[in-house]
Structure 1
Amino acid sequence: MRDLEAFNQAMLAKQGWRILSDESSFMARVLKGKYFPNTSFLETKVAPHESFTWKSILQARDVLKRGVKRVIGDGLNTRVWQDPWINNVSNGGVLIPKDEAGSSISWVRELIKDGNQSAYYATIHAKKEEGVSSSGSSSEGMWKKVWKSCTPPKVRHFVWRALHNTLPVGEALMRRGMECDPTCERCGEGKEDVGHLLLTCPMSKRIWYASPLRLKIEDDYRGSFKGWVDCLLGQIKDQEWWEAFWALCWSIWLGRNEWIFDKRRRDDLWRIDKAVGLVMEYQRAMEAEKIQPGSMKNGPRKWNAPPRGSLKLNTDVAMGKDGKVGLGAMLRDCEGDVLAALCEPWQGACEVDTGEALAVKQGIKVAMEAGFRQFEVETDSLRICQALRKRKKELSPLGVVMQDIGT
């Protein structure tokens, strides 16, 4: 039999949820005007003269407090130490008391550095205002050279990050607030940004000149890596040349990491051979796959291509037993050529459906940043498909992500 007391508490808590979730409703406005005009529903206290119905709703409020979390927008009205705003924590609050933390921060807004939470959307808006689009002819040609190159996905993803200036080099880490020396550890001469790492560092310049591409980087070059690539696009059209170029960039990056983390330095010719060999090995594997179609009879489900002239974005999430979450997305054309891709860990635990929604959100973001605006989205989560079609507002972690997708 049902526990009648628990059932009654649940029904009363449902009325409390209506007040909390729809403050503009007639019932919520009447009750607020009468019982808590100067505070919130979760914080108001019971007074002796109030009605039995209102006292009952407040008594069931503890049921809501066990699960509700504040949705963080600009953080102006959310208190760090008092409000429930952290996911995957039992009470939703900060576990360390304020006096023990020794922090003077009071509002979540103070934790959002320079409003960076919505920096992506602000950038997109600014570009629209200026009449500039990332899908311009120059950028579009650049992304085609990257995503249509016959190189491993890890190389393409690395190049995409390099062109967007998001590699974790010394200058970027310092800009993000980490205490580190931005000087290049390989040469000790300049500040390590993406341009220095891949172009102007003496060790990188030696590799470029000794490679089959015979590129000579001028000593006084001060431009960005993306600007340099943009200039080369107007001069070199050969796809195989670009495949070797991207692989050499990847090889330089690996050499940098080997030196920083393992203090191991390889010969320039070894690194060049490794880059060229990587491309050739990948191309042979792709050719073998074409020669033996359908060899994976019991393998993954066949991918259905979009109509000619259309694009399709496939997304998925991986949930590890240790609580780790991985997001993946791939944008392809009707021929199956990869135009953009995403593979990244997600910090923090979440439910499976929320993870699927995050994969869709991040996949759409990557595709749009790569210059693509029209494409269909395919996911293996029925709940996400239904939510995308209905566009119904839902006050839950999943609902917040779906709302982000809709905007």
Structure 2
Amino acid sequence: MGFRNMAQFNVAMLAKQGWGFLENPNSLVAQVFKAKYFSKSNFLNSQLGNKSSYVWCSIWAARGILEKGLIWKVGTGTSISIVNDEWVPDLDNYRLLSSYSGSIDNNVAELINCQTKEWNMEVINFTFGADETERILCIPLTKHPHVDLMAWRGEPSGSFSVKNNYKLLQRLDPNAYAIHPVYNDFYKKLWSIDLPTKIKINILKASWNYLPTRVNLLHKKLATEATCPRCGLGTETLNHLFRECPISVEVWTQLSKIKVLRYTTKLDGVKNRLVKSSKAVNRWKHPPHQTVKINFDGAFAAKEHRSASGIVARGSERSVLVSKSRIHEQVASAFEAEALACGETVQLGIDMQKEEFVMDRAFCYQTRVL
């Protein structure tokens, strides 16, 4: 996973809980927190309040970093402010900097032609500079408008990613929670050891005293007592858990070098199998009887903001039934180019009036960027 700063990793995990309130507002957890802490607003506009639980205080503390990673995806445009919200990709802070005519309302819906469901080019060209106009026109609009959605920037899917959020924290403040130089060597050596990532992360957590021992849980008011649940002879600190507890001592006593070598040998065997399986050649396979297989691919020209879709439909006998290509204008990214190619493929399957067809991205795993 690559998380070397456990404090920032913890913040990223807390931000994920806040994202859950936005993405699934009807979930039981979101409804409970909303009823108690932000019944008349939403999570982003919520207040900490008095006598709040430790869990709420922790999630609320990560709200700021969550806001820094959010961007609006345009649907109807009625919920998005033209200048106050982040909604234009590839611009600084995703916000427009131009001043605009007072005759235009504050929401993005005023920039969309309600009849054609396309951008109102006349209004946009008159209002914004050339660069901002180009960026706005590259934002795709659906022919079937939906409500405006909040998405996570930096992820093609728009869904929150802990790893992406961690990288955002690193960019904003790479020195936050910096590790003391004395320990740098230890962590570098730890990360270079050929061990499963989950073991490295647990060692890292132990070194920062982040493991959920009874003492730590009691400190965070998540437990009622600190007694070790295994031996009942002392408080469960990190030192007791790994060194003093009689059960742990027995485990260390029984652990022989031979058992360790057997474990590492098994791990090497798993890795070798993974390497062999990854070398398999990806060849075209014909679909089941009477099923049509449609291969598609997309190419993207970043400088021209154009893309091309290539599609070919074959039957079970490998004979080509239909093939087509199409050029798309005002395309913002390689991901969008691939999405357009995928959309064209679905439409082709519908036009062929096939009840069942197989879609496959042709020949490569990523869209070629020209």
Higher relative contact order (CA 8 A, sep 6+): 2
TM-score by length of 1: 0.41
Greater fraction of residues in strand: 2
